[in-house]
Amino acid sequence: MNGILLFNKPKDISSFKAIRKVQAILNLKKVGHCGTLDPLATGMLPIMINEGTKYSQYIISNDKAYTVELRLGFISDTYDIEGNIEQVLPSKKIELDDIKALLKKFTGTQSQLPPKYSALKVNGKRAYELARKGIDFELKKRTIKISKIELLESTNQHINLYIECSKGTYIRTLVHDIGQQLGCGAIMTKLHRNWVAPFQNSISYDYNSLEECQIIPIESIFNQSITLDEISTKAIIYGQSINVKQQIKHEHLETIAIFNNNKKFIGIGEIEEYILKPKRLLANLHDQGCK
């Protein structure tokens, strides 16, 4: 069994432990996940199964959507409720119009400084490990894009937001920055990942429904595909390049799904000047031939 399982990760468990539990329940040989969720967070966690683990990078880089709850009037070293918390006295009453106006400023392409309590590596060490030991270090800002940010609910103490964003966006940092801009501080108290593209309308399964889960084919994550005849299939399997000018209109493609002469997915390739080159193929294709 190869493919992608969309798992609904529960709260209070790491992504690593979650996928190991799924692996045990379904008796899977090899698994990997796309896009880590902190133990505090819940929601969609794509799990790559067996040969699917070869293609995780093509999901990790995709956009994601979240629903997040902010608690106003507090700050913490981790930017969420699980850190060392301090209360902040707001400089003024927070008005709804002020919140709406501020959210517009956070929409679009921008630079964001990742939190020190993150899994990013600094000189070979995880940032959160250094932070816990009180070791001083600096992280570099990264370019992110927030394509949508909507106010769902607002009270004197909480704000609920819906966010669609690019790879590498730290929602905890966004929450912290919003609190700083509002002048009252804010920490993340809840986080749910609604979806990971291209699975905006797909079902995520929890532990109780895993036995009935539908495995998504690997090839579904690629927008472009090509089907080869028997001779071309054999050439690709043996690492050769082939001319596909008569089959496809694209002169250059960074990634394209490849199907054999029996319309079965065998891997991905790239096209340069109409020449298709194998990029990442499934295992044991030599033994299977073109079947």
Active site residues: 38
**Of residues 12, 5, 16, 10, the one with CA closest to residue 119:** 16
CB burial of residue 195 (10 Å; 0-12, 13-18, 19+): buried
Sign of CA dihedral 83, 89, 91, 94: positive
Cα 219 vs. chain centroid, distance in angstroms?
18
Q: Are 193 and 42 in contact (CB under 8 A)?
A: yes
Place of tokens 């294709």: 285
Residue ranges in the chain assigned as alpha helix (H): 15-26, 57-60, 96-105, 127-132, 171-182, 230-237, 285-288
* Token couple for 8: 């609904």
* One-letter amino acid for residue 106 of the chain: F
**Of residues 165, 161, 215, the one with CA closest to residue 190:** 161
- Please state, in angstroms and rounded to a whole number, the distance separating the CA atoms of residues 132 and 147: 33
- Please state, in angstroms and rounded to a whole number, the distance separating the CA atoms of residues 96 and 151: 10
Angle at the Cα of 67 from the Cα atoms of 63 and 68, rounded to 5 degrees: 115
